Amino acid sequence: MRQGRLIATGAMLAFCLFAVWQSLLLSLTDRLGPGPGFFPFWLALFGVVLALGLLFTTFREPATPATDEEVRILPYGAGGMRWLAIVLLMAAAAAAMEVVGFRLAMLVFNAALVIALGERRWWVIALFAVGGSFGVYYVFTHWLDVLLPDGRIWN
């Protein structure tokens, strides 16, 4: 398990260093404030720091032989079913976004997501689903002037 973590963390470190280099090719500032390379630079730099921290802690761990529990990479049992449900829900929401629009796709996605994560109180599910779909749509389209898909049924 330690060797796999070292390989994955090394790959992440290489990716983040590449992103830092590429973001430095863009301007970090412009006359209005942050430029196109500002956020990618700081996110990649943060990733480099986290990857270095993980490499440091992984090197400090003792190299113990792997047991059967350590060999598992993906979740299994109830956790695996939740993980699979979340991945399938994201794929369905992405596929439905252009057809039904952001509001309805995210309404169903948020409700199903909260249920898949174990929530059973109807008012919590409804509040999260409506706030995460219609509320986010309102904030992005009216306050931030970001276009989100309306879908074919709203036109």
Domain boundary assignment for the chain: 2-71, 77-143
Q: Note if the pTM is more than 0.75.
A: no
Average pLDDT over residues 112-136: 93
Q: What is the pLDDT of residue 13?
A: 95
146 and 102 in contact (C-beta within 8 Å)? Answer: no
- Backbone CA torsion sign across 141, 146, 148, 152: positive
SS3 144: coil
- Asked if the model's pLDDT at residue 125 lies above 80, the reply is yes
d(CA 1, CA 66): 6
Query: Nearest Cα to 96, choosing from 82, 107, 81?
Result: 107
Q: What is the pLDDT of residue 23?
A: 92
